[in-house]
Structure 1
Amino acid sequence: MANIGARIERIPDNKYNRKMLIRTGFGNTFDSMDIAMVAFVLPSLIGLWSLTSEQAGILGSSVLIGYFFGAFFSGWLGDKIGRKKVIMYTLVIYCLATLASAFAAEWEHFFWMRVIAGIGTGGESAILAPYLSELIASRYRGKYIGALTGFHSFGYVAAAVIGYFVIPMSEDWGWRIALIITALPIFLVLYWRRTLPESPRWLESSGRLEEAEKEMSRMEANVEKYIGKLPEPTEFVQPPKAKGSFFTLWNKKFVKRTVMVWILWFSVIFSYYGFFTWLPTLLYNEGFEISKSFMFSILIYLAQIPGYFSAAFLNDKIGRKKVICAYLGLGAVSALFLSQADTSTTIIIAGFFTSLFMVGGMAGMYTYTPEQYPTIIRSTGTGSASAFGRIGGLLAPIYIGFMYPIYGFIGVFLMTTGVLLVGMLSTLILGEETNSKPLDDLTADDDDINKVG
């Protein structure tokens, strides 16, 4: 009997795949809009609560603190209870916490609500890439996971637009209304409940073969609405069942991959959140009024769209490893130029390319990471790498908050240059190309997968 992987591999690219991309992409868009909004409300909060640079840095890291726990535990839960349930529950958590943060009366209350919101956004972002990767044939996977990551850019641009038009409307209520708007996607859960399938790969790996067959048959029926009768799948022997855990990531087969992706995630997320969380405030501190700093941010955030989607296109053309190394290397060069920029034009140009190349590397990273692990630990592996990366993400705004008064604009972006280079080198030295390899080829033997060390 053909297994689920064989049945998915013979499905050509089609309209159903694209619909699944859009459905899951909504999650990344709203996650990023929620995270990015902190950067735009931060200047208002600094004035409202007379925050020090250090306190502002702590607030800037609040979402990332929750993100760490959300990403780690959602990966584990995704392998235990299923991908779909985690996607829906995490959406509800972040929307409700974001709504509560809009009514915060003091910065400590705002901080804790943003931490809880981060649990939701972190959990959802960590589970979406492995989920979609399990539904797409290997020859299209790089394009789709890169494009899925690209939906983050729409969230950042939406946050910048809301920040530009809504926050200046009222000194007292502008930032609160902006946060209320970012909580509205809670209604998306009703749509997801009806349209998202559970991963048949995960159901199969969990021994729930009847449910796997039901979901797979439903997927095939949806695909055949657009392309007609599917060809018969290649016959595969059902792989033996094995159990995995967090400790499986550290056995002999996976330890080099795990070290590589953890360094990569830490480097990219440190640079990403340090850059985007502080960008409007740094521009404001450099002498640009708040409305102009928000407009500059919109232009720089717009660079994420070509960054993500160019990398998504190249993922399947030249390979994930080359995409990551090329984009992070060019991002480091752009950050170096940004550190020397001293006019509006040079800041926008250097910031545009820093943004473009940084997120392009992220598109490669989100595609590359789920491919390092078999189904039974794919969610755990991706979630733990994402969680470790969030340590860098939560440290970056705090570190910049302390560093900026001492080393200024130049020091912040020289640091970004160095950190991006570390991520590039870890992939170059430790990484192996995974381009177009079927996910089932990553499955280890039982003896390997259950043995640590």
Structure 2
Amino acid sequence: MTSPNTSIEDVPLNNFHRLLTARSGGGSFVDGYVLSIIGIAMMQITSALNLSEFWQGMIAASALMGVFFGGFIGGWLTDRLGRKKVYFVGPTLFIVCSLAQFWVESAPVLFALRFIIGLAVGIEYPVATSLLVEFLPKKQRGPRLAALTILWFAGAAFAYVVGTSILNVGGDDAWRYALASASVIGLLLLLLRVGTPESARWLLSKGREADAERVIKHVYGQHYSLRDLPEEPDQKKTSFLDLLHSGYGKRLFFVSVFWSCSIIPVFAVYAFAPKVLLALNLKGEWASYGSMIITMLFVVGCVLATRLINTIGRRCMLIHSFLWSGLALLGLATFSHSNEVLVLFLFGAYAVFIGGAQVLQLVYPNELFPTEIRAFAVGIGTSLSRVGAAVGTYLVPVSLQTLGIGNTMYVAAVVTFIGLMAAWAMAPETRSLNLRDAAALSS
């Protein structure tokens, strides 16, 4: 019996796809939780461990440092060992290190544990997105990958609710319970991922045709086979450096530039939103409500982009996202000392319009590279973008003090417009392509 479809990328969304989305999306949720919970508990930690300013900064940045190395390691391991094995590394590290934080008694130990948690986050990006994209129908790739960004914000928001509740009732050691609470979510994620099959595409790239065939029949039904999987160019004997020289280096450059340019202003501005709003003359209730509204609008922007990604396409969305968010930052720079309503409007416009670039951070890297290097490419993009985010976050207080709020916003606008130029010059359109054609250099 032959399959009713010409390709497994044309099949309707089924329960397996939905479950796999939850399994991979759960990783983004946990990432948002573990990276945000430290900020909520930091004041109690500082007092309990008598942290110096040096160690406050190091512990706050430790996970971000770990993400940098985790992206490289996770991408390499995922392409070498397979998606399935590495799929359980992140949750395991989340459980062990989050639980270990409960008994921590010194700044160096807490730094080490947070660094390893950052490694786990960095590992999650390439393995979770690669496995998901290699099973999804092409019409669902964009929206489902984009939804992972929304789940990150959901995890961050949940951390705020849980962390604040624990601190309110837990006494002097409440911070220990807050940090350890991530182990519960990590355990749930680990259990949810039990039974996940290996990627048929990865198995095929390693010459394991029989295993790939079994996975396809298990997931899609007995009437499907390898004949229904669009073949990719044979990359089994090609090194990563050869692939870069053959043309994928340009794509990796594009991914790294647009990802960094979309995340640097967001991390920098969002991390210091109250401070930035204060510099923009928003005080008292304006600053409190402004921070809350802007946080909500970041989520709104990501939700809108997720719904529109298949309608207007990847390239168009990225260009417009950088254009209009850059103009909003330019407006903030020009009218930095204007009235509160205009400032909030421009800040909110930036939060909404940057949503397109935000959700494409996980879409483009997974579509533009073949199975052999897909996870590694995502890992490199993750790592390099976090370097920019760390630098931007570090420089914001310095810039506000030395350059002033107007010039700081001008710098953020310039970074965003660099992303716009990269998008205009290099962003391809992959909306209607299967993974083989999207990853092909001729596309």
The alignment's TM-score, normalised by the length of structure 1, stands at 0.83
Aligned to 1:439: 435
Question: Given the alignment, which residue of 395, 402, 412 partners 1:406?
Answer: 402
Matched positions, count: 437
RMSD: 3.6
SS for the counterpart of 1:196 is coil
Contact 2:368–2:439 (8 Å) recurs in 1? no
Please say if 1:251 is aligned against 2:245. Answer: yes
Tell me: CA distance 1:42–1:248, structure 2 relative to 1, closer, same or farther (3 Å): farther
Amino acid at match of 1:153: F
Question: Given the alignment, which residue of 256, 259, 277 partners 1:262?
Answer: 256
Q: Once the 2 structures are TM-superposed, how far is the Cα of residue 437 of structure 1 from its aligned partner?
A: 1.0
Aligned to 2:90: 90
Structure 2: runs of 5 or more not aligned: none
Residues 104-153 of structure 1 deviation map (CA, whole Å, 9 limit, x = unaligned): 44444333322111000111023222221111122331122112332112
Q: 5 Å matches for 1:350-389?
A: 350-389=346-385
Please say if 1:20 is aligned against 2:20. Answer: yes
Q: Aligned equivalents of 2:51 and 2:283: distance in 1?
A: 20
Q: Aligned equivalents of 1:210 and 1:191: distance in 2?
A: 28
SS for the counterpart of 2:194 is helix
Tell me: CA distance 1:358–1:278, structure 2 relative to 1, closer, same or farther (3 Å): same
Q: Aligned equivalents of 1:365 and 1:67: distance in 2?
A: 15
SS for the counterpart of 1:207 is coil
Residues 388-427 of structure 1 deviation map (CA, whole Å, 9 limit, x = unaligned): 1111122222222433443455454443322222222212
Range with greater deviation from structure 2 (435-444 or 64-73): 435-444
Tell me: CA distance 1:324–1:191, structure 2 relative to 1, closer, same or farther (3 Å): same
Q: 5 Å matches for 1:99-118?
A: 99-118=99-118
Q: Aligned equivalents of 1:279 and 1:117: distance in 2?
A: 25
Please say if 1:76 is aligned against 2:70. Answer: no
Aligned to 2:320: 326
Structure 1: runs of 5 or more not aligned: 449-453
Q: Aligned equivalents of 2:410 and 2:419: distance in 1?
A: 15
SS for the counterpart of 1:76 is helix
Q: Once the 2 structures are TM-superposed, how far is the Cα of residue 366 of structure 1 from its aligned partner?
A: 1.4
Contact 1:57–1:401 (8 Å) recurs in 2? no
Tell me: CA distance 1:273–1:183, structure 2 relative to 1, closer, same or farther (3 Å): farther
Please say if 1:311 is aligned against 2:305. Answer: yes
Q: Once the 2 structures are TM-superposed, how far is the Cα of residue 236 of structure 1 from its aligned partner?
A: 6.6
The alignment's TM-score, normalised by the length of structure 2, stands at 0.85
Which one has more relative contact order, counting CA pairs under 8 Å at least 6 apart? 1
Q: Once the 2 structures are TM-superposed, how far is the Cα of residue 375 of structure 1 from its aligned partner?
A: 0.9
Q: Once the 2 structures are TM-superposed, how far is the Cα of residue 45 of structure 1 from its aligned partner?
A: 5.0
Q: 5 Å matches for 1:188-267?
A: 188-221=188-221, 240=234, 242-267=236-261
Tell me: CA distance 1:23–1:63, structure 2 relative to 1, closer, same or farther (3 Å): same
Range with greater deviation from structure 2 (409-418 or 256-265): 409-418
Q: Aligned equivalents of 2:325 and 2:289: distance in 1?
A: 22
Residues 259-295 of structure 1 deviation map (CA, whole Å, 9 limit, x = unaligned): 1111112222322322333335666898978x99777
SS for the counterpart of 2:12 is coil
Please say if 1:143 is aligned against 2:143. Answer: yes
Q: Aligned equivalents of 2:143 and 2:237: distance in 1?
A: 30
Q: Aligned equivalents of 1:284 and 1:178: distance in 2?
A: 29
Q: Once the 2 structures are TM-superposed, how far is the Cα of residue 90 of structure 1 from its aligned partner?
A: 1.5
Contact 2:302–2:352 (8 Å) recurs in 1? yes
Range with greater deviation from structure 2 (180-189 or 251-260): 180-189
Contact 1:58–1:397 (8 Å) recurs in 2? no
Residues 361-398 of structure 1 deviation map (CA, whole Å, 9 limit, x = unaligned): 11123111111111111111111111111111222222
Range with greater deviation from structure 2 (412-421 or 87-96): 412-421
Range with greater deviation from structure 2 (28-37 or 268-277): 268-277
Tell me: CA distance 1:76–1:98, structure 2 relative to 1, closer, same or farther (3 Å): same
Q: Aligned equivalents of 1:341 and 1:356: distance in 2?
A: 22
Aligned to 2:271: 277
Q: Aligned residues: percent identity?
A: 24
Q: Once the 2 structures are TM-superposed, how far is the Cα of residue 244 of structure 1 from its aligned partner?
A: 4.5
Tell me: CA distance 1:355–1:87, structure 2 relative to 1, closer, same or farther (3 Å): farther
Tell me: CA distance 1:249–1:262, structure 2 relative to 1, closer, same or farther (3 Å): farther
Q: 5 Å matches for 1:161-176?
A: 161-169=161-169, 172-176=172-176
Q: Aligned equivalents of 1:266 and 1:404: distance in 2?
A: 21
Q: Aligned equivalents of 1:186 and 1:254: distance in 2?
A: 35
Q: 5 Å matches for 1:338-349?
A: 338=332, 340=336, 349=345
Q: Once the 2 structures are TM-superposed, how far is the Cα of residue 354 of structure 1 from its aligned partner?
A: 3.0
Q: Aligned equivalents of 1:88 and 1:392: distance in 2?
A: 28
Q: Aligned equivalents of 1:256 and 1:230: distance in 2?
A: 36
Aligned to 1:40: 40
Q: Once the 2 structures are TM-superposed, how far is the Cα of residue 158 of structure 1 from its aligned partner?
A: 1.5
Contact 1:161–1:298 (8 Å) recurs in 2? no
Residues 215-256 of structure 1 deviation map (CA, whole Å, 9 limit, x = unaligned): 1111113xx9xxxx8799659778545234442452132122
SS for the counterpart of 1:61 is helix
Amino acid at match of 1:422: I
Amino acid at match of 1:132: L
Amino acid at match of 1:254: Y
SS for the counterpart of 2:88 is helix
SS for the counterpart of 1:135 is coil
Contact 2:10–2:138 (8 Å) recurs in 1? no
